[in-house]
Amino acid sequence: MRYALLAAAILGAVVIALLFSASQDSPLLSENFPKLLAVGAAIAVALVALVGWQFWQLRRRIRAGVFGSKLTLRLMLWFGLVALLPASVVFGASVFFLNRSIESWFDVRVDAALGSGVNLGQAALDDLLADLTKKTERMALSLSDEGAGSVITMLSTLRDQAAIQEVTLFDERGRVIATAAGEKADLLPELPDKSILWQVRQEQAYSRVDDLPGHGLVMRVLVPVYSVAFAGETRVLQSIQAVPPSLARDASAVQEAYRDYQEIAVSRLGLKRLYGVALTLTMFLALLLTIVLAYLLSERLGSPLRTLARGTRAVAQGDFSQMHPVESRDELGALIKSFNRMTRQLSDARAEAERNHLQTEQAKAYLESVLANLSSGVVALDHKLRVRAINDAALRILDAGPENLSGKPLVEWGEPGSSLRQFGEQIAERFVAAEGEDWNAQLEFSRPGQSQNLLARGSKLPVDVQRGYTLVFDDITKLIRAERDAAWGEVARRLAHEIKNPLTPIQLSAERLSLRLTDKLAENDADMLKRATDTIVNQVGAMKSMVDAFASYARMPSAHIAPLDLNALILDVLTLYDGNFIHVELKPGIPLAAGDATLIRQVIHNLLQNAQDALSGQSDGRVSIQTENLENAVRLTISDNGPGFPEHLMARLFEPYATTKPKGTGLGLAIVKKIIEEHQGSIKVENQATGGACVCVTLPVFRKGESQ
Amino acid sequence: MPFCNVLSRALIILFCLFAATPPALAGKPEESITIQSAQLKQSGENWVLDAAASVKLNKTQEEALKKGVTLHFVTDFELERVRSWWLNESLIEANRIGRLNYSPLTRRYQIETTEGYKAFDTLPEALAGLGLIEGWVITPKKALKQGERYLAAMRMRLDLGLLSKPLQINALATGKWDVEGDWHEWEVAP
């Protein structure tokens, strides 16, 4: 592109130089003039095409929104304007002065002077010619009087007298009769044309000046010679005389000048055209070159701007990696340098921010994992007691989804009237009552079928961290139950120890009283004694069995876990019962459970006993036993169609001493629960919708290497 | 952009100016030179050409001539051997120049050819003399063989290249200087 432009400029300059020199006469250029014009025009057309292409490119780039293209266009137009103004002025002035100077060559006076010069020459020649004609006519007259014999002598004499350069006498047919010539004349006389001879014979003298090449101006006069002696033949006398050299030279010079002047006058329009074309072409080429150059320069100027635009876009998209080479040492280069510096600083700042963010994230993740692995429920509240964060343990304890709690104020937890809402309201009251102080409380969170004891602790966050509160609560239900179990164990042990010991002496004493006194008393008294001692013995026996029961509860043997075929065990236990009212529905092929056969047998006994007791006095009482296979567990379900558990006892069914039976110890279900928990199974008690109680016991499946 | 239009208009005007400057080569002018007769004949040991052309000048040319511009008339002659099986073979290409000018001093029209110098009192005489070609020696007699067919062609034209440069520009621009006859062809059988 740049080289093509340079070549075009050089070629254009050469063409223009040649064009200007073409006005001088140089043979090389005479034939090539149209070609020169054509080459110039071709260059101009090529440049026009180039400019057009550049404009088209620009237009396309402007439409595409390429950054800097508008600037390029504007610079291009400015350059063009800057070039056009002086070029137009110079062009106009040149054309004006050209026309003026060409016109100034032509002057009426010069014209008239040259014309007069030529006329002067003509007049001088005419005079000379007239003089020669007269001399020749005189000679012809002399010749016509002479006889034939002495023509040559006569002619020579006459020539000498008249001082004529060359005299020749022709006969009628143009043949030379005699000739006489001076020293300067050629050897052979010049022969006249037939037409001239014919003209002369018609008695018309011929007199002309010829501009013979190599001879200069030569006068020639032909006159007829009449003579009786020639028998009526008309002879022709020709005399030739060169114009005197000084006159000839001057006349020729005037003529040459006149000719040149006239030629230039004829061709002045052409001259104007020539210079006009050359000038126009020059200006056009210069203008086009300027515009093309303007485009290139604008591109060059705009390239740092484009670089900056590219960089800005990259930065806007978050790419700080692009560094742009600084090519120029001017302000634009400095700008790019500053931009690079800014990008680097931005990049550093962002990296720093990212690092900080990462650290924060890590700290937060660490905190969250700690919170998530806490068994305590942790709830973060803002200053309006809205939940900001809540950990998994809290959700598990409250048995609620995060969507019910997150972002909600405490008093709007759960559905209105639900236990969750009540719990939330309780805590909110505590926070309000504490007035910013820390508080501890044991709260009951009771839901249908389940009651939990929660130990909650509320505290206010330090003011300099963030305004808000934290609530931490633990499910201490199991802890309380364990405490209660331990207490009951202690009671049982005490009973065994403190009560059972006196029972044997009491029984022995009663028996001895009966043995010793029965014979000594009267029959009435003996009977009374016997009844009394029997009563004592029986009651002591009953008390002993009750104490044993407590003792067995307190000293529950630890379970020996072994593979246990639950179905076989159930069938074995059922042999002891009247099978009429028991409906057995065992699933064949259930996996072996992990359990202690002795303890599980007691569980089944206890549950069946309970059911049987519940159905006493009911003629259509039925008990059903089912086994099921669960995932990694087996389930035993014992249900009846009796009255079911009383609702008020549901929460404390598994506590010792909770019984519905008039004679029960209230230890049956407590023992069952203890055994199942020792097996890491679960037990669930509920009243069926159709009436009657239902107890579900789930035991884990036995796995090898798990026993003990 | 207001000056965009101005600039483009200026460019267009310039271009039109430039484009208009080269000649609009107007339609062919009426025949100014016609070959009236042409004959190739044997004369001694040579083939010589006798021909007569009628030359007419238009007003512009006549005026220029009167003002002293020398007009160069070129006579082109070509001789080809006719070949029925292939393109004709070009044997001879010859030309001669006749210079016509007016001498204000002697008030005569002068013709200079290779054969010599002639002067005429009037322009028609001079033009007739210019058009008259007698005994232009073309080629030796033996160059043309008996039994072959030959095609001769001649034309006469005004050589613009020998005009002065400004006049050439005028000639290119106006088209008033195109004096060029058509080729006159005839067959020659020795």
Task: Name the strand (E) or helix (H) holding A156.
Answer: helix A151-162
Predicted pLDDT of residue A357: 94
* Top-confidence range, A478-482, A483-487, A553-557, B71-75: B71-75
Q: How far apart are CA B7 and CA A88, in angstroms?
A: 12
Task: Write the pLDDT tens digit of every residue in A187-225.
Answer: 566 777 778 888 887 878 888 888 777 777 888 888 888
DSSP class of residue A386 equals: B
Q: pLDDT > 70: what percent of chain A?
A: 92
User: Cβ B21–A277 below 8 Å, yes or no?
Assistant: yes
Residue with tokens 């350059």: A79
Mode of pairing for the β-strands spanning A439-447 and A450-460: antiparallel
Residue among A548, A699, A536, A554 nearest A630 (CA): A699
- From residue A420, give the alpha-carbon distance in Å to each of A382, A387, A399, A404: 19, 14, 9, 10
B-chain residue closest to A30, CA distance: B161
Test the A interface: residue of B1, B62, B169, B172 with most A CBs within 10 Å: B169
Q: Coil, strand, or helix at residue A67?
A: coil
pLDDT-based confidence at residue A596 (cuts at 50, 70, 90):
confident
Domains and their CATH numbers in chain A? 2-105+267-309 (no CATH), 131-257 (3.30.450.20), 374-475 (3.30.450.20), 482-554 (1.20.1280), 562-700 (3.30.565.10)
Give the separation between CA A264 and CA A261, rounded to whole angstroms.
Answer: 5
pLDDT at A148 over 50: yes
> Can you say how many angstroms the Cα of residue B65 is from the centroid of all Cα atoms in its chain?
16
CB contact under 8 A, B119 and A280: no
Determine the distance in angstroms separating the CA of A37 from the nearest CA of chain B, rounded to an integer.
8
**What is the arithmetic mean of pLDDT over A438-459?**
81
Q: Which residue of A has its CA nearest to B170?
A: A270
CB-CB under 8 Å, A263 with B161: no
**Contact of A451 with A478, CB cutoff 8 Å:** no
Length of chain B: 190
More confident residue, A78 or A146: A78
ipTM, 2 decimals?
0.71
More confident residue, A6 or A356: A356
pLDDT band at A147 (very low <50, low <70, confident <90, very high): low
Check CB contact under 8 Å for A255 and B170: no
B170: nearest CB among A77, A255, A270: A270
pLDDT of residue B15: 47
**If you measure CA to CA, which chain A residue comes closest to B172?**
A34
In terms of phi and psi (left: phi > 0; alpha: psi -120 to 50; beta: otherwise), the region of A650 is alpha
Q: Say if the Cβ atoms of B106 and A270 lie within 8 Å.
A: no
The mean pLDDT of A148-159, rounded to a whole number, is 77
For residue A212, the chain B residues in CB contact (below 8 A) are 117
Q: How far is CA A383 from CA A377, A428, A431, in A?
A: 19, 12, 11
Determine the pLDDT at residue B121. Answer: 87
Chain B contact set for A251 (CB, 8 A): 105
- From the DSSP assignment, how many helices (H) and strands (E) are in chain B? 4, 9
pLDDT at B2: 42
How many Å lie between the alpha carbon of A38 and the closest alpha carbon of chain B? 9
* pLDDT band at residue A23 under the 50/70/90 scheme: low
> Which chain B residues are closer than 8 Å to A211 by Cβ?
103, 105-106, 108, 110, 119
Question: pLDDT tens digits for B118-165?
Answer: 888 899 989 988 888 888 888 888 888 888 888 899 999 888 877 777
Residue A437 above 50 pLDDT? yes
d(CA A278, CA A582): 130
More confident residue, A573 or B167: A573
- Picking from A251, A274, A287, the nearest residue to B165 by CB comes out as A274
A72, A106, A267: best mutation site toward chain B, by most B Cβ within 10 Å? A267
Task: State whether B173 and A208 contact (CB < 8 Å).
Answer: no
> Stretch A44-48: mean pLDDT, rounded?
86
Residues in B closer than 8 angstroms to A122, CB to CB, are 104-105, 107
Residue A3: beta bridge partners?
none
Instruction: Tell if the CB–CB gap between B64 and A266 is shorter than 8 Å.
Output: yes
Confidence of residue B27 (pLDDT cuts 50, 70, 90): very low
Check: CB of residue B157 under 8 Å from CB of residue B33.
yes
Q: Which of B106, B108, B177 to mutate to test the interface with A (most CBs of A within 10 A)?
A: B106
Query: Which whole number is the average pLDDT over A105-126?
Result: 87
Report how far residue A325's alpha carbon sits from residue A640's, in angstroms, rounded to the nearest whole number: 91
Give the Cα separation of A243 and B103 in Å (integer). 16
Q: How far apart are CA A21 and CA A32, in angstroms?
A: 12
The span from the CA of A473 to the CA of A440, in Å, is 9
Q: pLDDT confidence of A149, banded at 50, 70, 90?
A: low
Say if CB A353 and CB A359 are below 8 A apart: no
**Pick from A122, A264, A281: which is nearest to B105 by CB?**
A122
pLDDT of residue A130: 92
Kindly determine whether residue B117 and residue A213, on different chains, have CB atoms separated by under 8 Å.
Answer: yes
B145-149: list long-range contacts, CB under 8 Å, 24+ apart: B145/B190, B146/B190, B148/B81, B148/B82, B148/B190, B149/B81, B149/B82, B149/B187, B149/B188, B149/B189
Which sign, positive or negative, has the C-alpha torsion A503, A505, A511, A517? Answer: negative
Q: How many CB pairs under 8 A join A and B?
A: 136
Interface residue ranges in chain B relative to chain A, Cβ cutoff 8 Å = 1, 3-4, 7, 10-11, 14-15, 17-18, 21-22, 63-64, 67-69, 103-108, 110, 112, 117, 119, 121, 161-162, 164-173
3-state helix/strand/coil string of A686-705 = EECCCCCEEEEEEEEECCCC
**Which residues contact residue A452 at a Cβ distance below 8 angstroms, ignoring those fewer than 6 apart?**
A397, A444, A445, A446, A475, A477
CB contact under 8 A, B64 and A22: no
Q: What is the pLDDT of residue A557?
A: 67
The CA dihedral of A181, A185, A189, A190, to the nearest 10 degrees, is: -140
Residue in B10, B11, B103 nearest the CB of A211: B103
Nearest CA in chain B to A214: B117
DSSP secondary structure letters along A277-301: HHHHHHHHHHHHHHHHHHHHHHHHH
Helix or strand holding residue B42 (H, E): strand B33-43
Q: Angle CA(A667)–CA(A668)–CA(A673) in degrees, nearest 5?
A: 95
Q: Chain A: nearest CA to B101, how far in angstroms?
A: 10
Angle at the Cα of A127 from the Cα atoms of A125 and A132, rounded to 5 degrees = 95
Q: Write the CA distances from A672 to A73, A534, A630, A680, integer angstroms.
A: 96, 34, 21, 12
Q: In what order do the strands lie in the sheet with B108-112?
A: B117-120, B108-112, B89-103, B71-81, B150-158, B184-188
Closest Cα in chain B to A91: B14
**Chain A residue nearest residue B169, CA to CA:** A270
Does the structure show a pLDDT above 70 at A541?
yes
Contact A193, A170 (CB under 8 A): no
Contacts of B73 (CB under 8 A, 6+ apart): B55, B97, B98, B99, B100, B130, B156, B157, B158, B159, B179
Contact list in A for residue B167 (CB cut-off 8 A) is 263, 266-267, 270
Inspect the interface and report whether the beta carbons of A270 and B166 lie closer than 8 Å. yes
The three-state DSSP-derived secondary structure of A573-592 is: HHCCCCHHHEEEECCCCCCC
What is the pLDDT averaged over residues A395-421? 81
pLDDT of residue A630: 85
Residue A331 neighbours by CB under 8 Å, 6+ apart: none
Residues A217, B104: C-beta atoms closer than 8 Å? no
Is A209 in contact with B170 (Cβ distance < 8 A)?
Answer: no
Taking CA–CA distances from B60, the nearest residue in chain A reads A266
- Give the nearest partner residue to A77 out of B4, B18, B121, using CB atoms: B4
Question: B170 near B61, Cβ under 8 Å?
Answer: no
Q: Which residues of A touch B67 (CB under 8 A)?
A: 259, 262-263, 265-266
Would you place residue A353 in the very low, low, confident or very high pLDDT band (cuts 50, 70, 90)?
very high
What pLDDT, in 10s, does the model give residues A54-95? 889 888 888 888 777 788 888 888 888 888 888 889 889 988
Min distance A233 CA to chain B CA atoms (Å): 28
Comparison of pLDDT for A160 and B14, the residue scoring more? A160
Read off the pLDDT of each residue in A434-451 and give the average, rounded to a whole number.
79
* Partner-chain contact B110 A211, CB within 8 Å: yes
With contact defined as beta carbons under 8 Å apart, do A681 and A687 qualify? no
Q: What is the mean pLDDT of residues A400-404?
A: 78
Dihedral, CA atoms, A38, A44, A45, A46, nearest 10 degrees? 110
Nearest alpha carbon to residue A695 among A630, A620, A645, A634: A645
The DSSP output letter for B180 is B
Of A217, A255, A280, which Cα lies nearest the Cα of A44?
Answer: A280
Tell me what the pLDDT averaged over chain A comes to. Answer: 82
CB contact under 8 A, B105 and A125: yes
Residue B18 pLDDT grade (very low, low, confident, very high; cuts 50, 70, 90): very low
pTM: 0.50
Dihedral (C-alpha) A669, A670, A671, A673: value to the nearest 10 degrees?
80
Q: Do B166 and A268 touch (CB under 8 A)?
A: yes
Give the gap in angstroms from C-alpha B104 to the nearest C-alpha of chain A. 7
